[in-house]
Structure 1
Amino acid sequence: MKASQRSLLLLEQCLTMAQMKQIQSHLAVSGALLDPYAAGKVVAFCAPRDFSHAHRFFRHLPRHCRTAYVCNTMIKALVDAREPGSALALYQRMVADSGFLPNNYTFSFLLTACAQLGDVRSGSSYHCQAIRLGWESYDFVQNGLIHLYVTCDALDSARRIFDASANRDVITWTALINGYVKSDQVDVARNLFDEMPDKNAVSWSAMINGYVQAGLFREALELFNAMQTLSGLRPNHAGVVGALTACAFLGALDQGRWIHAYVDRTKMKLDRILGTALIDMYSKCGCVEMAHRVFEEMEERDVFAFTSLISCLANHGRSRDAIELFGRMMTEGVAPNEVTFICVLSACSRMGMVDRGLEIFGSMSEKYGIEPGVQHYGCLVDLLGRAGMLEEAKRVVRGMPMEPDSYALGALLNGCRVHGDVELGREMVESIIQRRLDHGGVHVLLSNIYASTSQWDDVVKVRKGMEENRVKKVPGCSSIEVNGEVCEFVVGDRSFALIEEVATLLRGIEKHLKSLRLEEEGDMGLADNCFF
């Protein structure tokens, strides 16, 4: 029986499940539910809101009402709810029970389900079915296949489908670009990106984030700028987050501020991901107050937002504030993660809060079910070492349930330097060398321990051993942003165009510091320390 115009109008105007159930009862009494169109409307409304109700309704539908539209709606609802296993099982039952014949939309949902599961074997089986039924060349199916193979690291298969495709759209191109980015083939991804006939904000963002994932932060910002100047497109959420991440690593504060202003101007929602990216950017650029302001402006704050600000405070000399924020995190019911504990333990170490640090370390497994890792033990050793509790720190190192790394041993070695324990320091260096974790910094630290106790013969011996074994300290570097451009300086590198002017200015600063009795570098000049 055909549903009446009044019934169809009611279906169109329905807003809640309660209303839908009333309308469904009316349709059942009138017999209009036997109309495939009306049945499809009921399923389409119920499936994303109350799948169990939709599924019960579907099971009682006569076979002629189980149209492709109704079946696809049911499968799609499960895929959208990220229940891919249930979606595939439902498809199999539909085929077995009612002889359902899939179409191009069905295959796009099935392939998405396989991608969510990472099940390339089932996906390949559906690929074969799509070929057999003549649906492979449809854009929904091709894009689904490329997405599946990219997700399952079958990039060669994805490329074959792409090359054979006669009607590629922006989704097709972007899916393959994401595949090359994921497999660390950024240059191939960029070449493909440059060949794209049409680009949207999603494709630009995919390439920007590809550069960020590869650590090519300058290239990411250059592309972010080109997106606006060449394409005229407005950056989307993903593009803004990627650009902020690049700004954070480069210390590009001016550009980061511009992006923040863009977020405010366009009224982009300050969600947890974007808010955390802004906090991280301001933190790495040294703007603690701005990081704190962004944090307070966020409507929802998760563990990543809290951890980012705790790290910011701890790294900028505000360890007490970091520990207080950790307490606020507990009060607000946000559970910490492994990184949170590394940050707050570091803050305790800098403040010399041994009892509080030990309490927090103990709460990891007892209260939060997080087993301490090697970095947490390293923080604990640093906490005890800085406080002069070297024997306790040594016991922690020996009692670690895993092999201590260079950070844990180095933290104890640094404690030996601060408190002048030469013998334990020598023992730690030998332990580090035995584990093949030694590097130039370790030998320099041992040399400084000897120097602090005026054992100059041993200082010479360590330095001579470094020369004979060609051990070199990893050169330090620093960067500064000038007029939106980030300049990086590496020890020993004199290739910068204005190096002489910079060195002259540094010598002037050095002279001024000496006059104020703030010189901490001994007889070694600041300029020499930076460039020679």
Structure 2
Amino acid sequence: MTFFGSKTHHLKSSNFILSLLDNHQCLTIPHLNQIQSHLITSGTLSDTYAVGKLVSAFANHPTHLSHAYKLLIFSPNRSNYMWNSLIKFYIDKHEPIKAISLYKNMISSGSFPNNYTFSFVIKATNDLCDLPFGIMLHAQSIKLGWENYDFVQNGLIHLYAMCNAVNSSRKLFDVSAIKDVVTWTAVINGYVKVGRIGDARKMFDEMPDRNVVSWSAMITGYAQMGFFEEALEVFNDMQVNGFRPNHSSLVGALTACAALGAFDQGRWIHAYVDRNKMELDVKLGTALVDMYAKCGCIEMANRVFEDMPSKDVFAFTSLISALSNHGQSERAIELFNRMQREGVDPNGVTFICVLAACSRMGLVDKGLQIFKSMKHRYGIEPGVEHYGCLIDLLARSGMLQEAAQLVRKMSVKPDSYVLGALLNACREYGDVELGEEIVKHLMEQGLDYSGVHTLLSNIYASAKKWDGVMHVREQMQEKMVRKVPGCSLIEVDGVVSEFGAGHRYHKRMEDVMLSLLQMDKHLQSFLLDHNFSLGSCT
């Protein structure tokens, strides 16, 4: 293909043609081919400005990026504008690898990047979270004198923050001459990402100006780190300060409402979404489904789910989990089947939820079928949580030996959940020997927490082996094992309060139980020593 011809005297028409390229989005490929032919015959294509315009025009059509690349490569005078146009288009088309590859070609061809080049390539590197390449770009920008330009410096701050190098991000931020709200928010997001929520809040409080994105970053950060009450406090402060919540802040606040059971506030957010006619996208819709489900409103969760214009695996999984957890296992399994019919592939969490539903209904054959389909149909390797659900299903159905055999054949090391499910079945069916074997495995793994000792004690008690009960209680006392006190949450007028059982009460109850067991042991010894039997006391 020949792109370049000799110069002619059609400058007037060429200028008109170039003006057409300023509005290249309205031009079709046949039009662009005609323009290229005219520029070749007029000789204008030897001009870097003209080639740059044409490269940009062809690059705007995704199917002709390769043609734009050929124009660039065959041009005798390549300008930064030409390189930058094509690099930017690859980034806009979410192809960061191609953008970086083009940047490397630019360097190897002897062209020097400018501040725009660096800002584009840093964005591509951030999309890939390629920290080593980002450090190399930082060094090159210093060498070529572009580091202090706003777009370059902000890009590097954001790159370091998103690649878990928040200390480097903060150092650049501190020496930056121009700090806008985007720069502040980038560092706050970096702190949140590595779990330094205190540093994020300190920086948030020091911000001279805030926008809805910075407020959302703080709300989302608190919610992700489990500081749900703080997330709702910031959400309320955001509105007091005159900022209207966006999708991100609403999702963060709904996550906090779901965790706290703050139904009134969650319902208010739903009303806000409806009142402002906000798009019920996948993230916001799934957050509403999860909030209603965890607050016990399954039908409202289902209604929101059906109102969502599009549903992904997370939306389906959220409702399947809700139905399963609220005793509607049959509906959960039907929704799982519908999910497959609609072409949405389940993920690992989906299988945990649907296997739990099978376990609650005792559907052994269905559970085994679903478990096998994980690997054979969807290529998902079962994890310890999936084995735990299947073992719980078998154990609940009285198939203790089959469950124990599965534990021994597991491809992953069994954890406390797996062994705990089997241990609980041992209590229910009175299998003392298997229960003792499981507890031994748990103790070897250092997983003999209070619940394990309590279950073993209950197994002994079900079998009327009081010596075993006494031995377990003595072990708990020796190891200073205490039952974790329960707690409850209650929402009153939008305020969530937590109530926990007193530690003294639990200690006193354990002491009473231990005293009774000791009395029972001494009574048995006394009766045996004096040749009494319990039957002779009638």
Instruction: State the TM-score bracket (shorter-chain normalisation).
Output: 0.7 to 0.9
Judged with a 3 Å threshold, the aligned counterparts in structure 2 of structure 1 residues 242 and 27 are, in CA distance, closer, same or farther, namely farther
8 Å Cα contact 1:11/1:23 also seen in 2: no
- Please identify, of 88-97 and 387-396, the stretch whose mean Cα deviation from structure 2 is larger: 88-97
State the match for 2:98 in structure 1. Answer: 86
- Counterpart CA distance in 2 for 1:16 and 1:305 is 40
Equivalent AA in structure 2 for residue 476 of structure 1: G
State the match for 1:517 in structure 2. Answer: none
- How far apart are 1:241 and its partner, in Å? 1.3
Q: Are 1:53 and 2:67 an aligned pair?
A: yes
- How far apart are 1:62 and its partner, in Å? 4.2
State the match for 1:166 in structure 2. Answer: 177
Q: Are 1:178 and 2:202 an aligned pair?
A: no
- How far apart are 1:22 and its partner, in Å? 5.0
- Counterpart CA distance in 2 for 1:350 and 1:195 is 51
- Counterpart CA distance in 1 for 2:58 and 2:205 is 44
Post-superposition CA distance 1:194-232 (Å, at most 9, x none): 1111111111111111212221111111111111111x1
- How far apart are 1:11 and its partner, in Å? 5.1
8 Å Cα contact 1:425/1:446 also seen in 2: yes
State the match for 1:228 in structure 2. Answer: 239
Judged with a 3 Å threshold, the aligned counterparts in structure 2 of structure 1 residues 268 and 62 are, in CA distance, closer, same or farther, namely farther
- Please identify, of 24-33 and 185-194, the stretch whose mean Cα deviation from structure 2 is larger: 24-33
8 Å Cα contact 2:17/2:35 also seen in 1: no
Q: Are 1:194 and 2:205 an aligned pair?
A: yes
8 Å Cα contact 1:177/1:193 also seen in 2: yes
State the match for 1:525 in structure 2. Answer: none
Post-superposition CA distance 1:343-391 (Å, at most 9, x none): 1111000001011001111111111111111111111110011001111
8 Å Cα contact 1:17/1:46 also seen in 2: no
- How far apart are 1:29 and its partner, in Å? 6.0
Judged with a 3 Å threshold, the aligned counterparts in structure 2 of structure 1 residues 261 and 27 are, in CA distance, closer, same or farther, namely farther
- How far apart are 1:108 and its partner, in Å? 0.8
- How far apart are 1:421 and its partner, in Å? 2.1
- Among candidates 377, 392, 397, match of residue 367 of structure 1: 377
Equivalent AA in structure 2 for residue 119 of structure 1: D
Q: Are 1:338 and 2:352 an aligned pair?
A: no
- Counterpart CA distance in 1 for 2:393 and 2:269 is 38
- Among candidates 325, 330, 338, match of residue 315 of structure 1: 325
- How far apart are 1:467 and its partner, in Å? 2.5
Judged with a 3 Å threshold, the aligned counterparts in structure 2 of structure 1 residues 482 and 96 are, in CA distance, closer, same or farther, namely same
- Counterpart CA distance in 2 for 1:483 and 1:462 is 45
Please identify the structure whose Cα radius of gyration is greater: 2
- Counterpart CA distance in 1 for 2:276 and 2:79 is 43
Q: 1:4 is paired with a residue of what secondary structure?
A: helix
Equivalent AA in structure 2 for residue 393 of structure 1: A
| Identity among equivalent pairs (%) | 59
8 Å Cα contact 1:150/1:175 also seen in 2: yes
- Among candidates 228, 241, 247, match of residue 251 of structure 2: 241
- Counterpart CA distance in 2 for 1:16 and 1:269 is 32
- Among candidates 440, 446, 453, match of residue 436 of structure 1: 446
State the match for 1:295 in structure 2. Answer: 305
- Counterpart CA distance in 2 for 1:293 and 1:17 is 45
1:403-442 equivalent positions in 2, closer than 5 A: 403-442=413-452
- Counterpart CA distance in 2 for 1:138 and 1:348 is 59
8 Å Cα contact 2:24/2:57 also seen in 1: no
State the match for 2:484 in structure 1. Answer: 474
8 Å Cα contact 2:162/2:189 also seen in 1: no
Judged with a 3 Å threshold, the aligned counterparts in structure 2 of structure 1 residues 176 and 252 are, in CA distance, closer, same or farther, namely same
- How far apart are 1:160 and its partner, in Å? 1.9
- Counterpart CA distance in 2 for 1:20 and 1:372 is 55
- Please identify, of 34-43 and 424-433, the stretch whose mean Cα deviation from structure 2 is larger: 34-43
Equivalent AA in structure 2 for residue 420 of structure 1: G
Judged with a 3 Å threshold, the aligned counterparts in structure 2 of structure 1 residues 17 and 406 are, in CA distance, closer, same or farther, namely farther
- Among candidates 98, 108, 119, match of residue 108 of structure 1: 119
Q: 1:312 is paired with a residue of what secondary structure?
A: helix
Q: 1:480 is paired with a residue of what secondary structure?
A: strand
- Counterpart CA distance in 2 for 1:405 and 1:96 is 53
Judged with a 3 Å threshold, the aligned counterparts in structure 2 of structure 1 residues 482 and 18 are, in CA distance, closer, same or farther, namely same
**Structure 1 regions of 5+ residues with no counterpart?**
495-532
Equivalent AA in structure 1 for residue 406 of structure 2: V
State the match for 1:72 in structure 2. Answer: 84
Judged with a 3 Å threshold, the aligned counterparts in structure 2 of structure 1 residues 298 and 33 are, in CA distance, closer, same or farther, namely farther
- How far apart are 1:140 and its partner, in Å? 0.3
8 Å Cα contact 2:364/2:394 also seen in 1: yes
- How far apart are 1:7 and its partner, in Å? 5.6
8 Å Cα contact 2:458/2:469 also seen in 1: yes
- Counterpart CA distance in 1 for 2:146 and 2:47 is 28
8 Å Cα contact 1:10/1:23 also seen in 2: no
- Among candidates 242, 265, 273, match of residue 275 of structure 2: 265
8 Å Cα contact 2:32/2:58 also seen in 1: no
Equivalent AA in structure 2 for residue 170 of structure 1: V
Post-superposition CA distance 1:381-414 (Å, at most 9, x none): 1001100111111111111122211111111111
TM-score, with length taken from structure 2:
0.85
Q: 1:124 is paired with a residue of what secondary structure?
A: helix
Equivalent AA in structure 1 for residue 267 of structure 2: R
8 Å Cα contact 2:126/2:163 also seen in 1: yes
Equivalent AA in structure 2 for residue 483 of structure 1: D
Q: 2:98 is paired with a residue of what secondary structure?
A: helix
- Counterpart CA distance in 1 for 2:66 and 2:128 is 22
8 Å Cα contact 2:368/2:390 also seen in 1: yes
- Counterpart CA distance in 1 for 2:338 and 2:129 is 39
**Structure 2 regions of 5+ residues with no counterpart?**
1-10, 505-538
Equivalent AA in structure 2 for residue 155 of structure 1: V
Judged with a 3 Å threshold, the aligned counterparts in structure 2 of structure 1 residues 132 and 399 are, in CA distance, closer, same or farther, namely closer
